[in-house]
Structure 1
Amino acid sequence: MTSRKKRATGLPNTPETPSNRKRTRGNGEGGIYSLPDGRYRWQVTVGRDDRGRQIRRSGIAPTKREAVRAAADLNAAQRKGLLATPDATTLGQWLDLWLERRKPHVSPGTHEQYTFHLKHIPPDLRRVRLQDLKRSHVRELTADLTGKGLSVSTRRKVISHLRAALDEAIEHEVLVINSAQGVRVPATVAERSRQKRNKALTLPELRAFLQAAEGHTLYPLFYTLFSLGLRRGEGLGLRWQDINLDSGEIRVEQQVKLEANRAVIGALKTVGSRRRLYASPDLRELLRDHQRCQQSERAVVGSAWADTGLVFTTALGTALHPRNVNRAIYGLCEAAGLPKFSSHSARHTHITQRLQAGEKVEVVAAVAGHASPSITLDIYRHVTDDEKRVSPFSLRDQLTPPAVN
């Protein structure tokens, strides 16, 4: 009698055992158990494993109503086939499978990037069973990546690719929950405090660079990139058949990109990247001179010349390696005493200058090949110090009432 009264009063710190918990079961509810602290444990059998043993899912809810609802939701998910069955697949095995499945749907360069970033996931985490992966594992991974000194952009790509792979595991009913969903990858204090250099060059910087580059074999390419705002691959992919030197019309139809560290001709980045541009008279004159020089080089080389039809080539007519373009820029920056920048700064500079000149953002977006004008403004619009000085905000002017005539 005494023991029954103690159980009824729900004394604190009483361990949960089969003898001191009260089990209630409604129709279709699964097992619902009252706990000494007033909460309720629910338990549902969702199937049997390979050995015939029951597979149970359970949880704790603050009220019986919520426990019943949780058990009912799980039963409903089971009936709809939304519960993952036990699987011995590890995270590493799934990532390898996911990479293999992605191959037909992305470019070789993109697939290389996926592979490169996912290699940052350590072996001990790769050995974790996929269904045992928890959000805490992903958070520990972000801390580990930060400790290795990887940049915030690299860390975010690792988690982004992991999230995509786990999403596919859910689609294949191997997982129910994506543990990487909602995990943020913040920049460190040092990364946030580091002054970020504008990617667009100022006019004095642009003049200094072009003066240093004059006479360089890639000078026509540099001038073209700054004149048209092309991506590096788009500039390298230009063919003479795409250019009308009389009208100035230039069609962007293809690009040169890297695959296994080789320069290859490939499709453009997006559908909107295929566009029609118009060269200014100075660019047309420069391209005419460049065409004459290329024809002279071709005559000297003779049969060794590769007839690619490209505007900017090696001494043998083959496609230029994209990384050699940036190497040349770095060398010229050092010679001119300029901060180092990449070929993409030519695109930033071109778009920023057009916007600063007051051109309509819709026109600039079309020139850039952007799907939306908002992309142009969000990524490429740089406010300079000179612009800030033009019309400083005056609180007095705002507060002064307009003069009455």
Structure 2
Amino acid sequence: MAEGSVFKHCACKDNDGRRLGSRCPNLRRRGGAWHPTHGRWAYQLELPKSLDGRRRQMRRYRFDNRDAAAKERDSALNLLALAGDNRDLTIEIGDLLEQVKPADPLPDRNMIARRVKAGIPVTTAVLLGDYLREWLTGRSIAAGTTRSYDGHLRNHLEPHLGHIPLEKLSVGHIKAMFTAITDRNIAIETARDSDDPSVRTSVKGHRTTGPASMHRIRATLRKALNDAIRVHRLIDFNPAAHVELPSGKRPKARVWTTAAVKHWKATGHKPSPVMVWTPEQAGQFLDYAEDHDILLYPLYALMLHRGLRRGEAIGLRDLDVDLELGTAVISQQITTDGYQPITKKVKTEAGDRTIMFDQTTSAITRTHLARRATWQLVNGPTWTRTGLVFVQPDGSPWHPDAVTKRFDKLVKRSGLPPIRLHDLRHCAATFLKASGADLQDIKEMLGHSTITITSDTYTSVIHELETERAKAEAAAALVPRTIRRAS
């Protein structure tokens, strides 16, 4: 391969007004050496012939000194050397150099080397959106995780960042995406509070993206870019790791106090996304459920008393329950991928746990099993044998979504302030803490992986319950006051 040449040129013109360039006689001294001040430095390089056999040259001008011109020439040669004996790749890198505009720097050698190693065309920019799709397709992960990643890509990362070349993605680009998401949240909230019904209707069904979701979106991008660095060798810097976001801590659970219920009835708004009933409200719900949905009442009671997740309660097996000992082993769950039910192990080692039944829950479960035995006798050979504790009258398993929908209907018809089905689990933790249990006890019952999760969600949740009220009264009584007569 030709080494190219370094030379000087200038902007002087001849009598006809044509530039002399490197032909200017003032560029050299009498002895033939380059003039130290006249003209500027440049280099010329023979590029590989094009695919159609066309000869090509690369010329770059306007360098302040010879060393700068020689350095860039050597950089161009190093780029061509990446092709080795691969003729097609040599032509492709030549195409890349031919496309460089006069004022632009040469392509980064490390970036081109990574593309060569990964088998990616060097003349085509790898767009972030294309990379993310390829990355997700190539991962072997749980269906639910895939669906979550896909949502992040489809709803946020691709619309905001998908058009940006992977190697040019910056911290600023990612910050701009989260700013746009925040602006959209404000627009939705503003429209919801509008006095104009048509404006409110325009955002019906539109969801805001909370801080926790933003953290998960960033985590997805960060993981994908880490793989671009460590696995695919496409980039050497992860901008997602340097973006700061507002705290994504879980919202605190709050109790449906008298004041909170009054506010909800007046405005229709819940004080917090995570709400729990008082013990009296929980008792009213169980009474209502026993009268109006005897099929799922035992399952709801178990979730309320012992803090099971929906999937854990639906997936509870006969072989996991020992009513003589009053224990249940929580080892599997029934969740959904889209709408398709999936049976799988609990997610973490901490989630695989043994819980104790209280007498009330044991009695409710015994009654349910006796009723289930009657259903089996009535169905005879058509009974569906699942081995699950909670089934429909024909023996078939409950669909997780059906369990949630029936719960929501019960709550609405009961007239109680609303909570989510998952909030029964929060109720269980709240009542356990109110009874004197510490956070470690609650962590073990709920199957949390760390006590931090338990603390973040349940600290100070029971401020309106009688045990906490008594502590507040006792503390206030320690402060002496002078008795004053009413004026």
TM-score, structure 1 normalization: 0.74
Instruction: Supply the AA of the counterpart residue of 1:391.
Output: A
1:151 matched to 2:209: yes
Contact 1:308 1:317 in 2 (8 A): yes
1:207 matched to 2:283: yes
RMSD (CA atoms): 4.0
Instruction: Supply the AA of the counterpart residue of 1:294.
Output: R
CA–CA separation in structure 1 for the residues paired with 2:364 and 2:390: 13
Tell me the SS of whatever aligns to 2:335: strand
Superposed displacement of residue 274, structure 1: 1.0
Instruction: Supply the AA of the counterpart residue of 1:162.
Output: L
1:94 matched to 2:131: yes
Mark the CA change 1:145 to 1:316 in structure 2 (over 3 Å): closer, same or farther.
farther
Q: What is the 5 A alignment of 1:102-117? A: 102=139, 104=140, 106-117=141-152
2:164 corresponds to which of 106, 114, 128: 128
Contact 1:256 1:319 in 2 (8 A): no
CA–CA separation in structure 1 for the residues paired with 2:221 and 2:113: 29
Q: What is the 5 A alignment of 1:6-405? A: 47-48=79-80, 50-52=92-94, 86=122, 88-102=125-139, 104=140, 106-121=141-156, 122-123=158-159, 125-149=161-185, 150-152=208-210, 153-171=212-230, 172-186=232-246, 195-215=271-291, 216=293, 217-386=295-464, 387=468, 390-391=471-472
Superposed displacement of residue 397, structure 1: 5.0
CA–CA separation in structure 2 for the residues paired with 1:107 and 1:79: 34
* Structure index of larger Rg: 2
CA–CA separation in structure 1 for the residues paired with 2:129 and 2:62: 43
Tell me the SS of whatever aligns to 2:275: coil
TM-score, structure 2 normalization: 0.62
Q: Which moved more, 1:155-164 or 1:232-241?
A: 155-164
Superposed displacement of residue 221, structure 1: 0.3
Superposed displacement of residue 377, structure 1: 1.6
Instruction: Supply the AA of the counterpart residue of 1:365.
Output: K
Tell me the SS of whatever aligns to 1:250: strand
CA–CA separation in structure 2 for the residues paired with 1:197 and 1:80: 46
Q: Which moved more, 1:221-230 or 1:356-365?
A: 356-365
Instruction: Supply the AA of the counterpart residue of 2:233.
Output: E
Mark the CA change 1:380 to 1:46 in structure 2 (over 3 Å): closer, same or farther.
farther
Instruction: Supply the AA of the counterpart residue of 2:173.
Output: H
Superposed displacement of residue 46, structure 1: 7.2
Contact 2:346 2:352 in 1 (8 A): yes
Tell me the SS of whatever aligns to 1:258: strand
User: How many percent of aligned residue pairs carry the same amino acid?
Assistant: 26
Instruction: Supply the AA of the counterpart residue of 2:93.
Output: R
Number of residues of Structure 1 aligned to a counterpart in Structure 2: 351
Instruction: Supply the AA of the counterpart residue of 2:272.
Output: K
Q: Which moved more, 1:358-367 or 1:264-273?
A: 358-367
Counterpart for residue 40 of structure 1: none
Instruction: Supply the AA of the counterpart residue of 1:131.
Output: E
Instruction: Supply the AA of the counterpart residue of 1:156.
Output: H
CA–CA separation in structure 2 for the residues paired with 1:23 and 1:379: 66
Return 5+ residue gaps in structure 2 as ranges. Answer: 1-36, 38-60, 81-88, 99-107, 186-207, 252-268, 481-487
Contact 1:221 1:312 in 2 (8 A): yes
Q: Which moved more, 1:290-299 or 1:199-208?
A: 199-208
Contact 1:120 1:158 in 2 (8 A): no
CA–CA separation in structure 1 for the residues paired with 2:237 and 2:461: 43
CA–CA separation in structure 2 for the residues paired with 1:374 and 1:51: 53
Q: Which moved more, 1:222-231 or 1:366-375?
A: 366-375
CA–CA separation in structure 1 for the residues paired with 2:78 and 2:426: 56
